Structure 1
Amino acid sequence: MSRENYPNPFNNTTIIPYILPEGSNGMIRIYDVNGKQIGSYNLMEGINQLQISTNTWNSGVYTYSMDIDGMEMEHRKMVLIKE
Structure 2
Amino acid sequence: MANKKVEVGDEVLIRGRISRVNEDGTVSFWLPGYEYPITVLPGAFEQIIKTPRERKPRLSPRSGRRNKPSNERPANRGRPEEPEH
User: Shorter-chain TM-score: which interval?
Assistant: under 0.3
> When the two structures are superposed, what TM-score results if normalisation uses the length of structure 2?
0.23
The structure in which a higher percent of residues are strand is 1
The structure in which a higher percent of residues are helix is 2
> When the two structures are superposed, what TM-score results if normalisation uses the length of structure 1?
0.23
Larger RCO (CA under 8 A, 6+ residues apart) = 1
